[in-house]
Amino acid sequence: MKICYLIIKKPLLLNPTTRLISITDTHNSRLSEVRNYNSTHSIMKKTEEKTTEKLLREKDQLKIKVLELEKKLAERTSELQNARNELETFTYSVSHDLRAPLRAIMGFSEIISERYLNSFNEEAIQYFNFIREASENLGSLIDDLLKLSRLLQFKQKKELVDIEIIVNNVLKNLSEEIKEQKATIKLPEYIPSCKTSRFLLEQILHNLLHNALIYHKMDENPVVDISLKKDRKNITVAVKDNGIGIPEMFHEKIFNVFQRLHSQEEFPGTGIGLAIVKKAVEKLEGEVFVSSQPGFGATFTVILPIKNSNDGLE
């Protein structure tokens, strides 16, 4: 191809003989160039082939190594997943099995207190009431543990959720506490809808509101301010109370399971509520934090990302 191109392109203005010589010369020199090129090319090609072959071999070896590593990783992941599943099932069945003996303790103490309590002396009555109180505490502990383990096993389904309905549900479930504490609950005028998990959001709101009602000052009725804001990326829920507040050193710790800052006598609780909030928020890929000073109430803020809120339901 290259040769043809050269011949045609050469300007042919000299006499025919000179032209012919010139053409032949050029032709020969080009030919040798081409030969040279060809030989160099073939050497290069051979080297190239060798290199390619080597590279291919190395690539294959790497591929095998990657596959091996991937296989190991998959094995590890599945081992971890199994261990986690086992632990979750274990938590569930343990908290579950604890109910049977508890039912016996509570059931029979109920029967005794109804039928035989007037034959007890004062001390016996006091001790007996301790048993009943303790078994009730154990009951709430088991209930909360079951809630937590159910949450761990929960496969979230996101759907378009009317948050107002969830808020109303939560308020209904807590109506007894609200009445008992003479609490004021302030709600925003407009409550948005968004695509999220109904169950998880309800867990989050229930526990935050419950805490706001429980940890109130002795001489002040709880005032809880719930705010809900939605922008293009997030939905932000804040629950602000006028309660006893939380020292800064505990702002992270309070989200751990069983972490309590008060005795059962001061404020009843199981130490699981905020752990449930944290887990639920994590499942929704959001974040939760508290800002608070002792004596000046606390504000818990939950930020949940909303993805493709215009899409159909997942």
Please state the closest distance from residue 102 (CB atom) to other proteins, in A: 7
Distance CA 154, CA 201 (A): 13
| One residue of 131, 139, 169, 267 binding other proteins per CB under 8 A | 139
Looking at the Cβ atoms of 88 and 225, the one nearer to other proteins is 88
- Least separation in angstroms between residue 149's CB and other proteins is 11
Torsion over CA: 91, 281, 223, 242 (sign) = positive
CB of 210 to other proteins, least distance (A): 20
Please pick, from the candidates 110, 252, 266, 314, the single residue that binds other proteins as defined by CB under 8 A: 110
Residue 106 binds other proteins, judged by CB under 8 A: yes
Quote the least distance from Cβ 137 to other proteins, whole Å.
Answer: 13
Tell me if 244 sits within 8 A of 266, measured CB to CB: no
Nearest distance, CB of residue 143 and other proteins, angstroms? 9
Q: Which residue has the tokens 């887990």?
A: 279
16-97 vs 2-9: helix crossing angle, rounded to 10: 140
Distance CA 134, CA 140 (A): 10
Q: Which stretch binds other proteins (CB under 8 A): 49-57, 107-115, 179-187, 296-304?
A: 107-115
The conformation of residue 158, written as its DSSP 8-state character, comes to -
Asked if residue 137 binds other proteins (CB under 8 A), the reply is: no
155 scored as a contact of other proteins (CB under 8 A): no
List Cα–Cα distances, 225 to 90, 210, 214, 308, in angstroms. 38, 13, 15, 29
Please say which residue, 4 or 100, places its beta carbon nearer to other proteins: 100
What's the closest the beta carbon of residue 89 comes to other proteins, in angstroms? 10
Nearer to other proteins, 53 or 133 (CB): 133
Q: Which residue lies nearer to other proteins by CB, 3 or 104?
A: 104
Do 265 and 255 touch, CB atoms closer than 8 A?
no
Q: What is the DSSP letter of 101?
A: H
Which of 234, 156, 160 has its CA nearest to residue 199?
156
Verify binding: residue 102, other proteins, rule CB under 8 A. yes
Looking at beta carbons only, is 137 or 256 nearer to other proteins?
137
156 touches other proteins (CB under 8 A): no
Task: Kindly report the number of other CB atoms within 10 A of residue 223's CB atom.
Answer: 16
Least separation in angstroms between residue 90's CB and other proteins is: 14
Candidates 267, 252, 187; CA nearest to 223 is 187
Minimum CB separation of residue 258 from other proteins in Å reads 22
CA distances to 36, 167, 178, 227, 276 from 187, rounded to whole Å, are 88, 9, 14, 7, 23
Between CA 153 and CA 195 the distance in angstroms is: 21
- Should residue 99 be labelled a site residue for other proteins when binding is judged by CB under 8 A? yes
Residues 38-97 that bind other proteins (CB under 8 A): 92, 96
Alpha-helical runs (H) found in 98-162? 99-115, 122-153
Binding residue for other proteins (CB under 8 A) from 3, 67, 104, 125? 104
Identity of the residue, 139 or 245, whose beta carbon is nearer to other proteins in the bound complex: 139
Q: Which is nearer to other proteins, 93 or 293 (CB)?
A: 93
Site residues (vs other proteins, CB under 8 A) = 92, 96, 99-104, 106-108, 110-111, 139
